[in-house]
Amino acid sequence: MDKKECDILILGAGPAGLTAGLYAARAGMKTVIIESMAAGGAINMTPDIANYPGFLEISGHELGEKMREQAEAAGTEIEYDEIDSIDLSAKVIRCATWSDAPSRCAGTISYKALIIATGAHPRKLGIEREEDFIGSGIHFCGLCDGMFYRDKDVIVVGGGNHAVEEAIYMSAIAKSVTMIVDIDKLTAQETLIKQLGKDVKIHFGSEIKKLLTDKKLVGVELKNGTTVNADGVFVAIGRIPNTQIFNGKIELSKGGYIKVNDKLQTNIADVFAAGDVTEKNVRQIITACADGAIAATHVAELLGSTRIRK
């Protein structure tokens, strides 16, 4: 089994992880990123991004590729593999063994400091054909994708703070907003509920049974048989942080997010976290990048780098 050593090991090659890799490598640290899927992470599912500075519009895949190229040009090495286990005391991770994929890690990597940037994935509806329309009819972030539904009809699924915030935001953009709430009341804070426009229609005690399509999404059918016309559905029923492997090893919030300080340091001195995997309020590409830069800068300082560049 192969063995590798590095100064900084980063878990996840999304915007946070790739930015952390860029900053760590530029600080003179031997840097390795482990990514289980494709560089760019979840942004690969977003066909159009219009709120990232420097680009009027760019696809998530293209932006992820540009970030990867920049991180690798700085000297970051990216390994594509799953993680079997991690020992935070010994500072060693064990990768999955892929006998048919020799380019993968397939071994162990020891490190001096760790940055966790494994992200979080949105809780999905769990209905037929949902995956087919993610990014082109089904979305999980109004702030990210709402502008593509200007003067169109949209649905927001959920009744908590996130859902009501999405409905308020989309009310200023869309022609109409309809909320689908699975219980008989909204559970968001009262101050948010009061901001909901009177023209937002709410179906209480309802769930989406199936999607109505005609080459594109045209609406949904609820479990009670009601149909609702819509060009887009924004799902706001919670997110699931990718922290299962760290249960009982580092301090997590009640929701499973990693708790960090202002340096993005966890309760373990040489373990940092960045991006959507952390306990935070705003989860955007640009905030993930900022987290990556902050975490990598402080990790490099911790390891005594004298080459931290602006």
Using alpha carbons only, how large is the chain's radius of gyration in Å? 21
Residue located via tokens 């990123």:
33
Can you spell out the DSSP letters for 184-242? SS--S-HHHHTTS-TT-EEETT--EEEEEEESEEEEEEETTS-EEE-SEEEE-S-EEES
For residue 267, the one-letter residue type is N
From the list 81, 144, 231, 276, the catalytic residue is 144
Query: Is residue 295 helix, strand or coil?
Result: helix
Q: With contact defined as beta carbons under 8 Å apart, do 101 and 88 qualify?
A: no
151 has catalytic annotation: no
144 has catalytic annotation: yes
From the list 6, 105, 141, 289, the catalytic residue is 141
CA distance 54 to 77: 26
Residue located via tokens 């900022």:
290
Kindly report the length of the chain. Answer: 310
CA distance 180 to 221: 11
Closest by Cα among 87, 21, 15 to 271: 87
Can you spell out the DSSP letters for 64-103? HHHHHHHHHHHT-EEEE--EEEEETTTTEEEEPP-TT-TT
CA distance 119 to 41: 8
Virtual torsion, Cα 119, 120, 126, 127, nearest 10 deg: -60
From the list 7, 81, 145, 291, the catalytic residue is 145
6 has catalytic annotation: no
Catalytic amino acids? 141, 144-145
